[in-house]
Amino acid sequence: MVRLNSRAVWLSTFAFLAVLAIALPAAAQTGGVRGVVTDEKGQPVADARVTIELVGGSPRRFETKTDRKGEFFQIGLASGAYSVTAQKDKLAALPFNVSVRQGQRAVADLVLSAAGSSQTKEALANIAGLKKTFAEGVEANDAGRYAEAIAKFNQGIELDPTCAECFYNIGYGYSQMKDYDKAEAAFKKVTELNPNYAEAYSGLANVYNAQRKFDLAGQANAKAAELSSGPVAGAGGNPDALFNQGVILWNGGKVAEAKKQFEAVIQANPSHAEAHYQLGMALVNEGNLQGAATEFETYLKLAPDGRNAPQAKALVAQLKK
């Protein structure tokens, strides 16, 4: 076992206290949309054309196709409200509204039907109203006007009580306002409407982590990681889910297990700056000061203006004395 000198002990204590305060950040600079397209019998539809269109602002339109499992995944989306539709032959899906944020993957599961391709004027008006209200809610959330955003998404629920994405955004707003009981209720409602909504479980993990309910946070994040193991995760697992699990383990005092998670994140995504920072903290706690300094320096190369940059600079200077 490595013996720590007084400087290392001070750094180790500081590292542990600092991590307790952090949230579960996302590392990616853009977001994405994933989902499954099925027919009315619940069977996956391969080669369906999926269109993802930004609502409001400069027109941005993306197109992709489903794989043989009916799954699709589009990355590289800027933050904002998007309308997602799917079509194959004479069948179409009703538009699905999602909000995309940096480092997150919104969920849009679509069902192709004849009804989706032929709508009444009343139905079209309802869809347009929901799209407008939803986009206004996303804009308010992104601007930090959470109470206003929650009101907008509640209006959306009045138009469509099954709008899981509306409940998700309500949960997001309440979590930002630190009203964790209401946030938890909203995220749980999402999982009732769509049990495969991985991001809702990530939201629950954030809520539980903020309340220091680390066992519940770990369970929720494990479920998020399990659900994200399809087309979203790619080789090596979902780096964000792995990172979140590492933070939860660290906050629960399971430092060695947390370190393994941060190492797994870096293996899956070597450019995940926050994982390098947290691995550096773990190495400080082990007494591996040289290794820690290297990780902090890597963090600074990847995120010179990151939220942990001032602390990383200070730690590098201290460790190299």
CA triplet 272, 276, 282: central angle to 5 degrees? Answer: 140
The DSSP code sequence of 108-148 is --EE-BHHHHS--HHHHHHHHHHHHHHHHHHHHHHTT-HHH
Residue 228: predicted pLDDT: 67
What whole-number distance in Å separates Cα of residue 71 and Cα of residue 60?
22
Q: Which helix (H) or strand (E) holds 98?
A: strand 96-100
CATH architecture of 31-118: Sandwich (2.60)
The answer to whether 165 touches 84, Cβ cutoff 8 Å, is: no
The answer to whether 32 touches 315, Cβ cutoff 8 Å, is: no
The reply to whether 31-118 shares the fold of 1-27+234-321 is no
The DSSP code sequence of 46-103 is TT-EEEEEE-SSS--EEEEE--TTSEEEEEEEPSEEEEEEEEETTEE---EEEEE-TT
Report pTM: 0.64
Q: Look up tokens 């409940």; give the residue.
A: 167
Domain ranges of the chain: 1-27+234-321, 31-118, 120-232
Please return the burial class of 53, using the count of CB atoms within 10 Å of its CB with bins 0-12, 13-18 and 19+: middle
What whole-number distance in Å separates Cα of residue 218 and Cα of residue 221?
5
The answer to whether 72 touches 65, Cβ cutoff 8 Å, is: yes
> Distance between terminal CA atoms of the chain?
23
Q: Look up tokens 């906050």; give the residue.
A: 251
What whole-number distance in Å separates Cα of residue 79 and Cα of residue 82?
9
Q: How far is CA 9 from the centre of its chain?
A: 34
Tokens of 109: 């599961």
Please return the burial class of 171, using the count of CB atoms within 10 Å of its CB with bins 0-12, 13-18 and 19+: buried
CATH architecture of 1-27+234-321: Alpha Horseshoe (1.25)
The answer to whether 138 touches 80, Cβ cutoff 8 Å, is: yes
Q: Which CATH class is domain 120-232?
A: mainly alpha
Give me the count of residues in the chain: 321
Backbone phi, then psi, for 113, in 5-degree steps? -160, 165
Per-residue pLDDT of the chain (321 residues; tens, 9 = 90+): 333 343 443 444 344 434 333 333 443 346 788 899 999 899 999 999 999 998 876 678 899 999 999 999 888 888 888 999 999 988 888 888 888 877 677 888 899 987 655 554 556 566 777 888 898 998 898 889 999 999 999 999 998 898 898 999 999 999 999 999 999 999 999 999 989 888 899 899 889 988 988 889 888 988 887 876 544 333 345 677 778 778 888 877 788 888 998 998 898 788 888 899 999 999 988 889 999 999 999 999 998 988 889 999 999 998 877
Residue 229: predicted pLDDT: 57
Tokens of 259: 């370190």
Identify residue 307 by its one-letter amino acid code.
Answer: R
